[in-house]
Structure 1
Amino acid sequence: MMDITVRTISDLHSEIIRLEKLKQQQEIDLKQRFSSPSSIFSIVKSFFPRSNKGGSSILDQDFLGLISRVALPFTLNRTLFKGSGFLVKTLVGLVSQKASTYISEDSVTGVWDKAKGLITGLLSKKNKKPAPAPEPDFSKAS
């Protein structure tokens, strides 16, 4: 910043005018910066910085991960912890928020494929008919 010394009343008036013009210019710059939805979204996204430790921010999760951040605590508090108090529901919410970072489309499809493989394996064993026993060959009797 510039240090302007104000010695007279005219210096004060000129400084007030300069500061008002500076204020108007800054308002114009801010209006341009927030003019489009994408610029607003990028500013909001900047509030959630990426972690350098390999972690991910909230907005880096896929769709299933974002849904699970809301659905998992809601479902647990409505079913398993229905009669619980405020403190237990808060703890469930915090723990399920942390657990939802591990839920992604890849992890869900991996679990689904394993379950499907187990079910088809069990069904194929159940539906498999035992092989018929070979009939004895009496023509070679000694």
Structure 2
Amino acid sequence: MSKRYNIKNLEELQAHLFALKSGYMMQEDMLKQNTRLYVRQYSIVNLFKKYATPSSFMKVDEKLNVSSKLMSLVLPIIMNSTLFRGSGFMTKALVGLATSKMGKSLDAEHLSSIFTSVKGWFNKSKKPSKRNMQVDYGIPPDSETF
């Protein structure tokens, strides 16, 4: 389908060519800008920032139960490669079966509570420093001793 233009002289032709070229340049710039925005929007870093927050993980976990599936796969591998390294085939098979069943029962809420309790063990072990301790001289602060 060809377009017919009503061009009568060379000056109109050059003006029309200039208008077409400027239109193409504007469209090219807009396409480049939109492409950059699209690539930034769906880059791995941006998707990770958007969807890897704890609240979104909990929402996804309620629907798909991703953490329990992941734990049922990862927990047997970790247990067999660390604690039961030198054991035989039957022991590793039983441990793998038991830990995969236990991993299916763990979800994101259980994992976060386990993590906070373990973190609490390490925070409680710190002893208060002597600088922060208040020394009590036995004189009440409201007494009228000058």
TM-score (norm 2): 0.44
TM-score (norm 1): 0.45
Higher helix residue share: 2
